[in-house]
A and B are shown apart, each in its own frame.
Chain A
């Protein structure tokens, strides 16, 4: 804030920015809560080498120790530190979730828009998408993992491939609806270039459902990874991910619940946070909703 003399006064401006932040928080509580939780998780994941212990070292003699001062989350069936594995698990689980979401949405968006707008693309590509959805994700996962050596990257690809058709279908349905809108028809009639129509009218109408879908995909990818581990086709078991921790400890649910509970709560928190962020983003981006609030 610059006063009449042209100099800046600091105190009022700091108060003003604080007020602005507070207003933002008040108007978008969901977004903020979600971001905070996600932020903490990310911090923990990045700081893992300093904050957590050793997630790999196995000492069977100390298996199934309940949570205590030395082992905050207890130990698992191989004597490994569950707290360390949960923190390190954040890295992989978050990476899987985010990568899958970004990849699936970008590829699916491209395909869906082209298919919704151009007939020949639709005929060819959407049928391919239909076929691709038929291939069971687990078959793809096992095959890819055995072909390319099990690793986080391979699991990501294995989860992305069946998700792309779903995104494409959703985008296409939105594009189909939007295409019929009067303003689009008007734009076409007045000779607007295709690229402009796509960028200005079509794409923005996909953002809202896509954000929702992206958050769902991110959370679902983390869960699918757990499911793949349950069926034996997930990330290699020595790498801690929340998914394979829950899957491999499920037999001990009654006996050592902390082995399932700790990664499970972390997973639920992240999923919740991601969804809150998606919700908040959507609500604040969409002018119609913002108005109603």
Chain B
């Protein structure tokens, strides 16, 4: 097991290197010039060229890449072309909102979805099954931003129960922190309820038809504990996989939610950086995220062994 983990961590480095090169090339080869954006709309070509030179953007790509990579190894992700703030500092400032949003969303989605999925699997074929499944599908067929606007309209403007937008750090009070996260979590979480619910249902159905479950039923063991102890545990593998995938998806979905609800997270940071072609930020964030994904997936793989002892590495 330990060897497995060490091995995976080593290959992480390789992966991140590949990602780094890919992102760097993608950015620098696609059109868009941060120098032209910095100097403003009414600047002349001469001014743009001078800024490019000064930012080192005219140096050969290999040189720029090595320069950046050298910095990364020293723990320095570079400095934003626009705001001159260190990329590490910018990411650090904005990690808390994104993680908060991701956690509350995932929690909400998992609780609702797993309950739906178990219920549907247990009552498979009945109208409860169909109703639950249709409900979860409907919840995911409206785009996140439309759900967001509708929620804001109903709960913030009409009823005034919850704030329209913004984020309150947890240090400033748990109550306000949660209040700002309720609507965004619902808007974003609904999309994942369907995915997680149906995978849960499928996995549960597979397990429920296993022989040992039928035996337990035949023996008259109460279904409740049977479901909880055996079925859920063995259905764990695909469920956990999907949750892992869900975390990955969240980073993408979080971008839209952060824009609609004006949450100052890393998603918006990257989107703003992309439209400005602020290369250091885009490169730095992507690099960090590739590391996060690898670690998350590692934890998912480890949890496989805990859930299903037949899987061994």
Contacts and interface: CB of A to CB of B under 8 A. Distances in A.
> In their complex, do chains A and B touch, with some C-beta pair under 8 Å?
yes
Interface of A: 30, 123, 127-128, 130-140, 142-143, 146-147, 162, 166, 169-170, 173-174, 176-177, 180, 208-209, 212, 216, 219, 223, 226-227, 230-232, 243, 246-247, 250, 253-254, 260, 264, 267-268, 271-272, 275, 279, 282, 286, 288-289, 291-293
Contacts of A139: 23, 26, 270, 274, 282, 286
A136 B198 contact: no
Given A143-B26, A169-B244, A173-B238, A131 B202 contact: no
B45 to A, nearest CB: 20
Interface stretch (B53-61, B107-115, B131-139): B131-139
Contacts of A132: 19
A30 B120 CA distance: 15
Nearest to A267: B141
B40 interface: no
B252 A138 contact: yes
B30 interface: yes
Contact of B145 (A30, A250, A268, A293): A250
Interface string B195-224: 100110010011001000000000000000
Interface string B285-313: 01001111110010000001000101100
Contacts of A128: 15, 18
A246 to B, nearest CB: 6
A162 B143 CA distance: 19
Contact of A131 (B130, B134, B290): B290
What 5 A-B pairs come out closest when comparing CB atoms?
Answer: A134-B290, A271-B141, A131-B15, A288-B209, A268-B141
Interface in B1-60: 11-12, 14-16, 18-19, 22-23, 26-27, 29-32
Contacts of B259: 230-231
A106 to B, nearest CB: 18
Contact of A127 (B11, B241, B282, B311): B11
Interface of B: 11-12, 14-16, 18-19, 22-23, 26-27, 29-32, 124-125, 130, 133-134, 137-138, 140-146, 149, 153, 191, 194-195, 198-199, 202, 205-206, 209, 237-238, 241-242, 244-245, 248-249, 251-253, 255-256, 259, 270-271, 274-275, 282, 286, 289-294, 297, 304, 308, 310-311
Contact of A134 (B130, B143, B282, B289): B289
Given A136-B255, A292-B125, A209 B199 contact: yes
A246 B146 CA distance: 8
A231 B146 contact: no
A291 B281 CA distance: 55
A267 B146 CA distance: 13
Given A136-B251, A170-B245, A216-B195, A123 B11 contact: yes
A272 B245 contact: no
Contacts of B244: 169
A216 B201 CA distance: 14
Contact of A140 (B16, B26, B242): B26
Nearest to B247: A133
B286 A230 contact: no
Contacts of B23: 135, 139
23 contacts: A123-B11, A128-B15, A131-B15, A131-B290, A134-B19, A134-B286, A134-B294, A135-B286, A136-B270, A136-B286, A138-B271, A139-B23, A140-B26, A146-B31, A169-B297, A174-B238, A216-B195, A230-B145, A271-B137, A275-B194, A288-B209, A292-B205, A293-B124
